[in-house]
Amino acid sequence: MRLSTLLAPTLREDPNDAEIDSHRLMLRAGLVRKLAGASGIYTLLPLGQRVVAHVEAIIREEMDSIGGQELRLPVVQPAELWEASGRWSVYGEDMWRLHDRHGRAYCLGPTHEEVITDLVAHEIHSWRQLPLLLYQIQTKYRDEVRPRFGLMRAREFIMKDGYSFHASEEDLERTYADVVGAYRRIFSRVGLEYRTVLADPGAIGGSQTHEFMAPADAGEAEIVSCAECDYAADIEEAEVAPRSRSEASVPMAIGRIATPNARTIEEVAEHLSTEPGSIAKLLLVRLLFADGRTECVAVLLAGDATLNENKLLAVAGAISLRPVTVQEAERLHLPLGFLGPVDLPPGIALYADPEVAEGGPWVVGANVEGYHLNNVWGGRDFVPDRVLPLRRAQAGDRCPQCGGRLSAQRGIEVGHVFRLGTKYSCVLGANFLDQEGQTRPMTMGCYGIGVTRTVAAVIEQHHDRDGIIWPASVAPYHAVLLPVGTGSFGSRAQQVAEELSVQLAKRGISAVIDDRDERPGVKFKDADLLGFPVRITLGKALEHESAELRLRKDGIVQMVPLTAVADVVSAQIQEATAVPIA
Ligand code: ATP
Ligand code: MG
């Protein structure tokens, strides 16, 4: 391939609408273009399409290796299927809905549990036909509230979705473990560093799920992980234990202290020359329930802790929450900024985290403007209505698995595996006759990989200030041949480039020739931006029948005789693609 004819429009300057590195570099390196007037909808240009195709090929190899069968389900799905599963009304505004000419309602598939379960319900009837692992690689549609970061959170994106059907829970466990193994190989092979984390099943339902997270600052997910063992969890899902704290042996009498203008935990801590962790903060929140009812509750946490909103919603059985407004607090005669658990007005339930539920001494708000209380003891000065772990995990917490220290980091969710149980098979009639001749619903698993998001994640983890540094396994081309020089020297360089490209192709190495009429400086800059793993410069070294080889990854330069170039590059690429599986 010649760069002069390739549709790879590189940009000299950073585009101003790109907030994260992968988005910026995909635009600059000419991998993608946004469709004008449509946020979150992208064209994959030839180089971007090649990378996606390489990721897809790795996914296919690994899914096939565990017995997966590829199929292709329709994108357009009738509302009836979603009504049968009960998700037509709950999926919400993320679902892209449309009508046909007869007024029938459809959606553009955001996911395919309904469609595949319906297929299997019709085609599979006996335990002899199970287990079954089906997958597809297809464009998905989700009208995301905030499409952003390019391919990372798009409204039209490519997903690998897989579904498995089983006669028993134990059988699902085997396939689940196989898929987790395949995912490990896939993410290692595409060059991602990743963690497997425990996560919340969300709208898809079912129990216990694992997410594959690629650590990166641009990630939207927050995870905690242990450096000493393999424990990692979504920050909202992580188990939290109360932290140890030195307590005074003899409780002193409660006291009132003036804290004018000290409203936040930091201000109070500074005013009293103490640590945020010795203050207990009271949050007043309004819970909203599915039947439209609302309730105001008070939540008590250590001052350096954060409320895990998901846990509070789950224990209260509410669907959403928000902090109370100033006006609502005024009606309750409670001054925001000076709230505390002592003498709360009746009718407000007090939920306390175990760290603060008992013992002391704590500094808390006095429920009087401008005052706090000190030497407050849980159990003596206030008694919570409910004691629940409502604190979010945070860096420095003890690992629930080994007792080590947890660290917090951001991650990109690139894959997600779920146990669905019989949630879909029951409602959509995916039943089978077991060995005893009994009709039973099939047990299901479901397994997703964000294909285009994975490409973005690879760039987030592999770039420097000059551009992308592609892992050889997914690079759009393994090498760039760079002929430089003018006149007869230049045409010799061009001719050698053509010859080497043929020799490389014979060894399975793809190369692009930068035959553009550009200054060498421009070519070198673009080679770095586009991130091909090996750069082969045909310039001065040609006088000695040699070429200059440079690895994009570490900048190491080597002079290699022309006769050996194809073999050396081929060995370098082979070495780079033989990744140990993490
Ligand atoms: P998120 O929490 O990031 O919205 P999700 O939990 O909704 O993801 P799943 O329904 O599990 O995602 O979809 C499977 C995979 O598809 C995800 O792990 C992710 O990699 C990818 N994915 C989901 N939404 C998008 C999107 N809007 N753009 C690109 N990839 C996506
Ligand atoms: Mg989502």
Angstrom distance (rounded) from CA 73 to CA 113: 11
Give the residues surrounding ligand 1 with Cβ less than 6 Å away. Answer: 111, 142, 144, 153-154, 157, 159, 202, 413-416, 448, 450, 452-453
**Helix (H), strand (E), coil (C) string for 407-438:** EEEEEEEEEEEEEEECHHHHHHCCEEECCCCC
Q: Is the Cβ–Cβ distance between 528 and 467 less than 8 Å? A: yes
H or E element in which residue 516 lies: none
189 CA to centre of ligand 2 in angstroms? 25
Residue 147: nearest ligand to its CA? 1
Residue 13 located in a structural domain? no
4 CA to centre of ligand 1 in angstroms? 36
Angstrom distance (rounded) from CA 254 to CA 371: 13
84 with 211, same domain? yes
Using CA positions, which residue lies closest to atom 8 of ligand 1?
413
Based on the structure, what is the number of domains in the chain? 3
525 with 483, same domain? yes
Could you tell me which of 124, 117, 49 has the C-alpha nearest to residue 84?
Answer: 117
Angstrom distance (rounded) from CA 516 to CA 504: 20
166 with 282, same domain? no
Out of 180, 220, 453, mutate this one to test ligand 1's pocket (max ligand atoms within 8 Å of CB): namely 453
39 CA to centre of ligand 2 in angstroms? 16
144 CA to centre of ligand 2 in angstroms? 7
Using CA positions, which residue lies closest to atom 2 of ligand 1?
413
Angstrom distance (rounded) from CA 253 to CA 249: 13
Using CA positions, which residue lies closest to atom 31 of ligand 1?
450
148 with 264, same domain? no
Q: Is the Cβ–Cβ distance between 14 and 118 less than 8 Å? A: no
Residue 398 located in a structural domain? no
The one-digit pLDDT tens for each residue of the chain (582 residues) are 999 999 999 999 999 889 999 999 999 999 999 999 899 999 999 999 999 999 999 999 999 999 999 999 999 999 999 999 999 998 889 999 999 999 999 999 999 999 999 999 999 999 999 999 999 999 999 999 999 999 999 999 999 999 999 999 999 999 999 999 999 999 999 999 999 997 765 545 556 689 999 999 999 999 999 989 988 888 988 888 888 877 767 788 999 999 998 989 999 999 999 999 999 999 999 999 989 999 999 999 999 999 999 899 989 999 899 999 999 999 999 999 999 999 999 889 999 999 999 988 999 999 999 999 999 999 999 999 999 999 999 999 999 889 999 999 999 999 999 999 999 999 999 999 999 999 999 999 999 999 999 999 999 999 999 999 999 999 999 999 999 988 888 899 999 999 999 999 999 999 999 999 999 999 999 999 999 999 999 999 999 999 999 999 999 999 999 999 999 999 999 999 987 665
456 with 423, same domain? yes
Residue 111: nearest ligand to its CA? 1
Residue 402 located in a structural domain? no
> Which letter does DSSP use for residue 366 in this model?
-
Using CA positions, which residue lies closest to atom 16 of ligand 1?
450
Could you tell me which of 413, 448, 470, 463 has the C-alpha nearest to residue 51?
Answer: 470
For the full predicted model, state whether its pTM sits above 0.95. no
Q: Is the Cβ–Cβ distance between 388 and 353 less than 8 Å? A: yes
Residue 154: nearest ligand to its CA? 1
Using CA positions, which residue lies closest to atom 1 of ligand 1?
413
- Domain span at residue 547 reads 477-577
